[in-house]
Structure 1
């Protein structure tokens, strides 16, 4: 479950930058959001691989 917590924490850490970008038009915040979203994507892919390995090893 610690991986899930990592995803939640990462999303929560981006909340302020989302607001700055969408509500105030801060372009630097948009860049930080894009980088954070890439991290989320990579983390999600790692979690998917881990789940597949665990599933396949229990057969």
Structure 2
């Protein structure tokens, strides 16, 4: 659950930059969004691994 909270925090923190990039054309904001998306990808993979481990240990 801790990692899921981190996912929510990353999304909340990058929300302003998404608006700046898509509505304002700010290239630097786009770079920050790309980094945040990479961080989300890593967190999502870690969550997937934890879920798989938990499911397999329950058997």
Superposition RMSD in Å: 0.6
Any gaps of 5 or more consecutive residues in structure 1?
none
Q: Deviations over 1:13-46 (max 9, x none)?
A: 0001001101110000000000100000010000
* Aligned pairs, number: 59
Q: Quick one: higher RCO (CA 8 Å, sep 6+), 1 or 2?
A: 2
> What's the TM-score, normalizing by structure 2?
0.95
> What's the TM-score, normalizing by structure 1?
0.95
Any gaps of 5 or more consecutive residues in structure 2?
none
